[in-house]
Chain A
C-alpha cells in the first residue's frame, strides 16, 4: 500500500487549450505539509482541482490516496476523503459563523438532523478554536473581514475531517501574523491527524521554511519536486520565474530567498 497522495496521468483541457498534459505528481507525504509553487498560469490551481476531481470537463486523472483509488469514488464520497478548499472566500451571507460550519458539516445530508445539535455545535466550536476564532462563533459572516472569512473557510474544511486537504492559496487574505499562525496550525493539525495537506503558495520564503515537500511548476510541467531546499534553488527560480535570486542563510541559520533582479 502506498502512503500519501499521488496523482497520475493528469490531463486537463479548457476548450482547445491543453493546460495539463499527462502530468504525474507525488506522492505528497502524510503528516506533512506540501506546497505547489510556480508563476501565475502555471497550472497549480488546475492541478489541485484535478486531484480533487473538480477539474474542468474533459479532465482526467488517476488519484491514489493511501492506496485507495479516489478517481473511482462517487463525488460525494470522494470529498469526504479528500477536500478541496477554493481560493474564493466564503460569501458574505447572513449566516452565523457557527451555522456556516454546521452547514459545511451537513452538506451531504438530506434530512434535517435531530433537533439536539449540541455535539455538532461543540465540534464546530473546537474547530474554530483551533484557528483561534472561537470568539467569532455567534457573529454573522456578512460582518467579518476577508481574513476572518478565510479562517472560517479553513475551519469549515478541517471540520469535515478529511484524509487529504487541498488548499488553494489559503493565506491570500491574511496579514503577516496570521499567515505564520495559519501555517503553524496547519503543520500541527496535519501531523496530529496524520493527513496529507497540499497547498498552492506564492510566498517562497514561507514555502522554504514551513513546508516539507514542494513541487514547482511552469507552463503545466513540473520543473522540480522534493524537499524545499532542493526545489527552491537559484537555478529553478531562474527557470520558472525568470528572476535572478539567491537562497541565503540568515543569522539564525534559516534559509531566505533574496531576489536580485529580473532575468
Chain B
C-alpha cells in the first residue's frame, strides 16, 4: 500500500536540525509570498500615482484643482474644459494602463508557452499584421461591411492581428512543431507584413502615407470611451482565465516534456494561452497602433522582480506593462512643451535603456 509521506519520522534519517530548518524554510517561503504581494501592491500604487500625474500634466495648462473640479462637477465648468477632461485626459490616461496591462499579460503568456524570451506580440508579427490591416484601411479604404467610420482602421487592424495569432496557433498545433518552429514562423510573419505595408506605402498618396506613418508610431490619442471599455472588459475577462492556468504554466517553464509527464496537457494549455494572447494583443494593438515593445519588456522585468511562479509573474507582468505605458504616456506629453509625441516612440526610447540594464545585469534570462 502507498505510504503517505507526511508521517513524522517516516524518513529514515531526519536529522535533528531539520525541524528548525523546516521552520526557517516555512517562514522564508511565507516571507517570499508576502514580499511578492508587497511588490504587486507597490506596482499598483505606482500606477495609481502615474495615472494621476498623467491626468494632471498636459499641454492644456489646466491646474490640478480645475481638473478635479471638472471631474466632480462636470456641469459647472466651461464646456471646453469638460471636453478636455472627459474626452481626452481621462480616456488617454486609462487607455495607457489598459493597453500596458493587456500587452504585458500577452507577452508573459507568450514567452512561457513558446519557451522563448524573445516572444511578444511585437516580435512575432501581431503588431506587423495589425499595421498591415490599418494600412489597408487607410490607403485602400478597404473596410468590413457594417463597421462605423470611427472603427474602420481598428477593425481592419484587429482582423489581421487576430489572424496572425491564429496562424501561429495553427503552426504550433502541427505534429512535431517545436517552439522554435513557431518562433521562426512568427519572425517570418513580421517580415512578410512589413513588406506588404511597404508595398502599400509605395503606392499611397501623400496624405494617406502620413496617416499611416503616424498610425504605426503608436499613439494613445486614439483612445475613446467605447474602445477603452472594450479593452478593459477583455482584460477583466481574460485575467482570471490566465490565473487559473498559473500552476500549469509554471510547470511548463521547467520543460515541455517534464510538464507532460507531470500530467499537464501541454497542447491544450498552449492553445488556451495563445487564444488569450490573441484577444488581448489584437485589441490593444488595433486601438493604439504599434506599441509592441511593452509586451517584450514587461515579462522580463516581472520575472526579475517576482520570479517565475505564474501566480505572481502574470499579474506582475500586467502591472509592469501598465506602469511602463502610463509613465511613457506622461513623458510623451511633457518632454516637448505643447507637443504630444507618439507614445510608441517614447515607450521604446524610455524602455530600451531600462530593459538593457536588466538584461545585462544578469546572464541567462531565458
Contacts and interface: CB of A to CB of B under 8 A. Distances in A.
B251 interface: yes
A126 B13 CA distance: 10
Contacts of A93: 253-254, 308
* Residue among A52, A122, A160 with max Cβ neighbours from chain B (10 Å): A122
A141 B303 CA distance: 14
B211 interface: no
B267 to A, nearest CB: 11
Interface in A15-66: 52, 54, 57
A129 B254 contact: no
Interface string B230-273: 00000000000001111110110111011111111100000000
Contacts of A153: 258
Contacts of B15: 129
Contacts of A67: none
B26 A118 contact: yes
Contacts of A83: 261-262
A96 B25 CA distance: 11
B259 A107 contact: yes
Nearest to A141: B254
Contact of A111 (B28, B244, B308): B244
Contact of B265 (A57, A75, A86, A159): A75
A238 interface: no
A76 interface: yes
Contacts of B148: none
B33 A138 contact: no
B258 A88 contact: yes
A29 B303 CA distance: 44
A82 to B, nearest CB: 10
Interface in B280-324: 303-304, 307-309, 311
Given A75-B263, A86-B257, A100-B254, A95 B5 contact: no
A86 B3 contact: no
A84 B2 contact: no
A66 to B, nearest CB: 10
B29 A121 contact: yes
Interface in A70-89: 75-76, 78-80, 83-86, 88
A227 interface: no
A123 B1 CA distance: 19
B184 interface: no
B28 A138 contact: yes
A90 interface: yes
Contacts of A140: 307
B73 interface: no
B333 to A, nearest CB: 36
Contacts of B263: 75-76, 78-80, 107-108
Contact of B33 (A115, A119, A125): A115
Interface of B: 1-6, 10-15, 18, 21-22, 25-26, 28-29, 32-33, 175, 243-248, 250-251, 253-255, 257-265, 303-304, 307-309, 311, 364
Interface of A: 52, 54, 57, 75-76, 78-80, 83-86, 88, 90-96, 98-100, 103-104, 106-112, 115, 117-119, 121-123, 125-127, 129-130, 134-135, 137-138, 140-142, 153, 156, 159-161, 163, 188, 192-195
23 contacts: A57-B175, A79-B262, A79-B263, A83-B262, A85-B258, A90-B258, A93-B308, A95-B250, A95-B254, A99-B250, A100-B254, A103-B251, A107-B247, A107-B251, A107-B263, A110-B244, A110-B247, A122-B6, A123-B6, A126-B11, A129-B13, A163-B2, A195-B2
